[in-house]
């Protein structure tokens, strides 16, 4: 356990590669499972995969002895000199002449949310470092005759866009991704100068008839040739801070990370939105090529979800929502009609009342009061009201055009796969017990996080710190963590967490009720596996859960 003063993770100006070395322990999965009880089909595969991804090896000097030059990349050049001893580990300088072993994973502080009510990620334990400085190869032996320096090779990145008649907004988007090694633009039949604008910016333009958002995005993904893919729309802009952060990330991406999430800053009617749009509103937009594709069956909301722990960026992706009321209302109606095609509501009084009345009212209350949307002023209240009205429109079209059967709920839940994502909720007095419990879950291969107001941090558990522990702050912090990657399970530690749990919506708890801490970590991971199997078999979120533990 480290004291807060030893880790200034809340300073956004802190360089990402300036941090103390962390602690790596490969998961002892099979032994823990054997001691914890009966095995569950699928559990070993889940945690073995994560265990393999977490193993890091020392970077020997022989791994960097060949000179190589990479042309055509922004600032990417590598100069390597021979080290006398092949067995000497390479050392990466954090600051000045101080060096740390490459084998030790980096403890990465992140300030991922500028709205403190949602909690800041003050500690991200997994992943490699972002080292843009020189690499010092220190040979063994008392007589050191040569010290070699090399800048790490920057991995390549492709920006992928889908467009249709975007001649006005496209230039700004293209300019913001000009640092990318390749820009792939899929045009769906523009009748204006969109194609000419893209080609003039050096983009590779592909013409593909419109077949849906997911299909069009997959066309661009499959045509990309770089190591990493960045998805950007014509009405989005990569901020200068995000561009700089992506460049540092590409210099040395963590070996166990295949996807990153980016905070989205919406601009609506001439101003920025914060809590009314549930900022940071993380989206998976940067990922390794060949690992992710969109669901082509969805008509809208075809976003991606990671299979394992993600890397959260601080820099924002700016989204230009609407400049006028006419544009805002038109967009809301268009997306509502698209969403209604993938939603079916039985023509019975209770489902219809939920869709047309209860859900929109709940959204108004949560977004305005619980998430603090009122702080965005009239723009925020207008956006919340527009979104609630859009839900009514979705329900109305779904009831009128669909009907019948036990249909999926509005806004289908994301598919949960990969390593179990377990979120702990604890006030400061219960933080130590929560850390101990979550560390055991981490050893089993789970992606763990603690939402708390405690000042302490852990070397193996990601921490989202709240300004103070209250029901509203607990809901906001848990929701922000769920945006990183959909949670499978929320575990409650102490009475304060249990009192706050009543306000947690199903969307942030894996669709099921949170469980109390007396449940063992082994049982929790097994529970996630069984819950996923049940959901995959069509059982939805109604799978059996442990009985709540009384205070």
Distance CA 86, CA 105 (A): 22
The rounded mean pLDDT for the chain is 74
Distance CA 159, CA 132 (A): 22
- How much is the pLDDT for 406? 42
Taking only the tens place, the pLDDT of each residue in 327-339 is 999 999 988 888 8
Q: Is 462 exposed, middle or buried (0-12, 13-18, 19+ CB in 10 A)?
A: buried
**Mean pLDDT of the region 22-33:** 32
Give helix then strand counts, H and E, for the chain: 14, 21
Nearest Cα neighbor of 413 from 262, 540, 299 is 540
Reported confidence tier of residue 136, pLDDT bands at 50, 70, 90: very low
**Mean pLDDT of the region 102-112:** 34
Nearest Cα neighbor of 140 from 56, 57, 60, 21 is 60
Per-residue tokens: 279? 């900022």
Pairing outcome for strands 447-452 and 182-187? unpaired
**Mean pLDDT of the region 97-122:** 42
Q: Which helix (H) or strand (E) holds 120?
A: strand 120-123
| Widest CA span in the chain | 84
Per-residue tokens: 524? 């929790």
Residue of 379 and 308 predicted with greater confidence: 379
Locate the DSSP E strands across 329-442.
421-426
Nearest Cα neighbor of 513 from 425, 408, 433 is 425
Angle at 228 between CA 222 and CA 232, to 5 degrees: 75
Reported confidence tier of residue 378, pLDDT bands at 50, 70, 90: very high
**Mean pLDDT of the region 144-161:** 66
- How much is the pLDDT for 43? 52
Nearest Cα neighbor of 74 from 207, 179, 165 is 179
Between 59-63, 218-222, 288-292, 425-429, the lowest mean confidence (pLDDT) is in: 59-63
Q: Does the reported pTM lie above 0.85?
A: no
Distance CA 183, CA 172 (A): 14
Residue 529 scores a pLDDT above 60: yes
Per the listing, tokens 């949670």 go with: 487
Between 96-100, 227-231, 307-311, 481-485, the lowest mean confidence (pLDDT) is in: 96-100
Pairing outcome for strands 462-465 and 447-452? parallel
The strands making up 515-516's β-sheet, listed across from edge to edge, are 120-123, 462-465, 447-452, 421-426, 489-493, 515-516
CB-CB contact of 251 with 152 (8 Å)? yes
CB-CB contact of 118 with 480 (8 Å)? yes
Locate the DSSP E strands across 330-420.
none
- DSSP lists the bridge partners of residue 426 as 452, 493
Nearest Cα neighbor of 549 from 514, 525, 522 is 514
Helix (H, G, I), strand (E, B) or coil at 530: helix
CB-CB contact of 59 with 90 (8 Å)? yes
How many percent of the chain have pLDDT more than 90? 47
Residue 256 CA: distances (Å) to CA of 17, 26, 53, 227, 430 = 17, 13, 5, 15, 30
Residue 63 scores a pLDDT above 50: no
Per the document, the length of the chain is 551
**Mean pLDDT of the region 440-467:** 90
CB-CB contact of 492 with 423 (8 Å)? no
Would the CA dihedral through 112, 115, 116, 117 be positive or negative?
A: negative
Taking only the tens place, the pLDDT of each residue in 35-58 is 334 444 555 554 454 444 433 333
Q: Which helix (H) or strand (E) holds 321?
A: strand 317-322
441 contacts: CB under 8 Å, gap ≥ 6: 420, 422, 448, 521, 524, 525
- How much is the pLDDT for 400? 81
Residue 367 scores a pLDDT above 50: yes
CATH of domain 157-321: 3.90.550.10
Per-residue tokens: 207? 């013409």
- How much is the pLDDT for 438? 94
Reported confidence tier of residue 348, pLDDT bands at 50, 70, 90: confident
Per-residue three-class SS string for 153-219:
CCCCEEEEEEECCCCCCHHHHHHHCCCCCEEEEEECCCCCCHHHHHHHCCCEEEECCCCCHHHHHHH
Main-chain dihedrals φ then ψ at residue 249, nearest 5 degrees: -65, -45
Q: What is the DSSP letter of 124?
A: B
Distance CA 454, CA 120 (A): 12
Distance CA 291, CA 218 (A): 12
CA dihedral 336, 532, 255, 3 (to 10 degrees): 90
Per-residue tokens: 135? 């690499």
CB-CB contact of 524 with 422 (8 Å)? yes
Residue 95 scores a pLDDT above 80: no
Residue 91 scores a pLDDT above 80: no
Angle at 317 between CA 313 and CA 318, to 5 degrees: 150
How many beta carbons lie within 10 A of that of residue 9, not counting itself? 23
CB-CB contact of 241 with 315 (8 Å)? yes
- How much is the pLDDT for 134? 27
Residue 551 scores a pLDDT above 90: no
- DSSP symbols for 410-446: SSPPPPP-SS-EEEEEE-GGGHHHHHHHHHHHHHTT-
The domain locations on the chain are 157-321, 325-401
């Amino acid at each position: 356990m480290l004291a807060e003063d030893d880790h200034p993770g809340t300073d956004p100006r802190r360089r990402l590669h300036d941090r103390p070395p962390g602690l790596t322990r490969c998961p002892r999965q099979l032994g823990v499972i054997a001691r914890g009880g009966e095995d569950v089909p699928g559990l070993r595969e889940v945690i073995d995969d994560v265990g393999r991804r977490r193993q890091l090896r020392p970077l020997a000097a022989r791994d960097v002895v060949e000179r190589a030059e990479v042309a055509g990349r922004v600032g990417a050049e590598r100069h390597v000199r021979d080290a006398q001893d092949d067995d000497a580990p390479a050392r990466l300088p954090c600051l000045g002449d101080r060096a740390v072993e490459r084998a030790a994973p980096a403890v990465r502080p992140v300030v991922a949310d500028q709205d403190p009510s949602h909690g800041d990620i003050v500690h991200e334990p997994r992943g490699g470092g972002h080292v843009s400085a020189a690499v010092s190869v220190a040979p063994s032996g008392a007589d050191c005759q040569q010290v070699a320096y090399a800048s790490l090779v920057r991995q390549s990145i492709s920006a992928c866009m889908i467009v249709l008649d975007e001649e006005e907004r496209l230039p700004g988007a293209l300019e913001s991704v000009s640092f990318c090694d390749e820009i792939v633009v899929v045009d769906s039949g523009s009748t204006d100068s969109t194609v000419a604008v893209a080609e003039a910016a050096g983009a590779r333009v592909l013409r593909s008839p419109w077949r849906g958002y997911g299909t069009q995005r997959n066309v661009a993904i499959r045509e990309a040739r770089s190591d990493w893919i960045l998805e950007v729309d014509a009405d989005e802009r990569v901020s200068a801070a995000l561009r700089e952060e992506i460049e540092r990330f590409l210099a040395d991406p963590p070996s166990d990370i295949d996807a990153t999430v980016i905070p989205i800053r919406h601009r609506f009617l001439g101003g920025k939105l914060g809590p009314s749009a549930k900022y940071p509103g993380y989206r998976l937009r940067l990922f390794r090529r060949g690992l992710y594709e969109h669901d082509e069956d969805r008509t809208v909301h075809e976003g991606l979800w990671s299979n394992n722990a993600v890397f959260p960026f601080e820099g924002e992706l700016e989204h230009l929502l609407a400049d006028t009321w006419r544009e805002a209302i038109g967009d809301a109606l268009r997306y509502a009609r698209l969403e209604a095609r993938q939603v079916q509501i039985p023509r019975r009084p209770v489902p219809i009342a939920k869709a047309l009345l209860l859900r929109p009212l709940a959204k108004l209350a949560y977004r305005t009061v619980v998430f603090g949307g009122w702080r965005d002023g009239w723009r925020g209240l207008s956006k919340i009201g527009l979104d609630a009205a859009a839900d009514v429109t979705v329900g109305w079209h779904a009831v009128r055009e669909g009907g019948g059967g036990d249909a999926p709920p509005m806004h289908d839940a994301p598919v949960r796969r990969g390593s179990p994502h377990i979120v702990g909720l604890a006030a400061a007095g219960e933080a130590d017990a929560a850390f101990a419990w979550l560390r055991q879950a981490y050893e089993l291969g789970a992606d763990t996080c603690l939402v708390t107001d405690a000042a302490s941090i852990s070397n193996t558990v990601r921490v989202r710190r709240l300004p103070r522990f209250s029901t509203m702050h607990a809901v906001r912090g848990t929701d922000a963590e769920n945006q990183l990657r959909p949670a499978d399970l929320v575990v409650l530690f102490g009475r304060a967490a249990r009192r706050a749990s009543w306000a947690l919506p199903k969307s942030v708890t894996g669709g099921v009720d949170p469980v109390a801490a007396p449940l063992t970590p082994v049982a929790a991971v097994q529970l996630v596996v069984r819950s996923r199997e049940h959901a995959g078999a069509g059982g939805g979120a109604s799978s059996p859960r442990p009985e709540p533990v009384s205070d």
